[in-house]
């Protein structure tokens, strides 16, 4: 008897749709709460569905992860319009910078860089351009560095009613957002 797994396959498909980078099967299992075997079977069922001629997408495996992407034959036609592949999605570096700002606001570029350990200029500029963060004031220290915070656009982007609706951090996660020193 072949397992149906309709709901499980739909759940895996929804997760893949929401992810903007390849995601490993073990991570899919953790997010979905399904066993690794069920995830593998669901991916096989999705692969079969996407292999049909009436599907414009396929499962792509990249760097040990899986993602849903347009089939190559359609991508050639769509590349001009969608070449930046969903500008609405954020890179891991952008999400990390945005998370630091969201959980630590108001925060300066120097403080963000101290937490991230790398320059934040490019990410701050991109987040400002996207309207996800804004200048909220200047810190009352020598040099008066600009402080950043999130915007209403940020709340809309993440479907949050307010900053209070951000997921709560556990102690080890909170430590990542604090300056060491």
Nearest to 14 by CA among 2, 31, 37: 31
Task: For residue 139, give its domain range.
Answer: 92-176
**CA diameter of the chain:** 72
Q: Both 171 and 140 in a single domain?
A: yes
Report how many domains make up the chain: 2
Query: Distance between CA 131 and CA 126 in Å, rounded?
Result: 9
Whether 181 is in a domain gets the answer: no
Q: Both 34 and 103 in a single domain?
A: no
Query: Distance between CA 102 and CA 11 in Å, rounded?
Result: 28
Q: Both 43 and 107 in a single domain?
A: no
Whether 38 is in a domain gets the answer: yes
Whether 1 is in a domain gets the answer: no
Q: Both 98 and 59 in a single domain?
A: no
pLDDT score recorded for residue 176: 67
Across 6-36, b (16+ Cβ under 10 Å) vs e yields eebbebbbebbeebeebbebeebbeebebee
Q: Both 45 and 13 in a single domain?
A: yes
pLDDT score recorded for residue 7: 94
Q: Both 133 and 69 in a single domain?
A: no
Q: Both 172 and 103 in a single domain?
A: yes
pTM above 0.75?
no
pLDDT score recorded for residue 3: 61
Whether 129 is in a domain gets the answer: yes
pLDDT tens-digit readout, 112-153: 999 988 888 889 999 999 899 999 999 999 999 999 999 988
The pLDDT of 75-100, averaged and rounded, is 76
pLDDT score recorded for residue 86: 47
Whether 21 is in a domain gets the answer: yes
The pLDDT of 63-84, averaged and rounded, is 77
Q: Both 37 and 97 in a single domain?
A: no
Of 33, 62, 82, at which residue does a domain stop? 82
- Assign residue 68 the CATH number of its domain: 1.10.10.10
pLDDT score recorded for residue 146: 96
CA atoms within 13 A on the CB side of 53: 0
Q: Both 17 and 41 in a single domain?
A: yes
Residues 6 or more apart from 160 whose CB is under 8 A from it?
A: 154, 166
Of 82, 117, 136, at which residue does a domain stop? 82
**What's the pLDDT band for 53 if we cut at 50, 70, 90?**
very high
pLDDT score recorded for residue 79: 72
Whether 57 is in a domain gets the answer: yes
Residues 6 or more apart from 21 whose CB is under 8 A from it?
A: 65, 67, 92
Whether 147 is in a domain gets the answer: yes
| 5-14, 33-42, 72-81, 142-151: least confidently modelled range | 72-81
Whether 32 is in a domain gets the answer: yes
Percent of the chain whose predicted confidence (pLDDT) is above 90: 51
pLDDT score recorded for residue 181: 45
pLDDT tens-digit readout, 146-181: 999 999 888 877 767 778 888 887 777 777 666 654
């Amino acid at each position: 008897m072949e397992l149906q797994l309709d709901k499980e396959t739909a759940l895996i498909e929804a997760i893949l749709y929401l992810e903007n980078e390849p995601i490993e099967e073990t991570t899919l299992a953790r997010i979905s709460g399904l066993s690794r075997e069920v995830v593998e079977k669901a991916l096989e069922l999705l692969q079969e569905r996407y292999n049909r001629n009436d599907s414009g997408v396929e499962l792509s495996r990249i760097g040990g992860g899986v993602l849903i992407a347009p089939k190559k034959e359609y991508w050639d036609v769509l590349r001009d319009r969608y070449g930046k592949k969903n500008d609405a999605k954020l890179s891991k570096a952008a999400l990390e910078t945005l998370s630091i700002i969201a959980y630590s606001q108001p925060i300066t570029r120097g403080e963000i860089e101290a937490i991230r350990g790398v320059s934040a200029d490019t990410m701050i500029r991109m987040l400002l351009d996207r309207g996800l963060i804004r200048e909220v004031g200047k810190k009352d220290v020598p040099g008066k560095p600009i402080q950043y915070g999130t915007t209403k656009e940020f709340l809309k982007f993440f479907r949050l009613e307010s900053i209070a609706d951000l997921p709560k951090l556990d102690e080890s996660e909170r430590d990542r957002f604090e300056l060491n020193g």
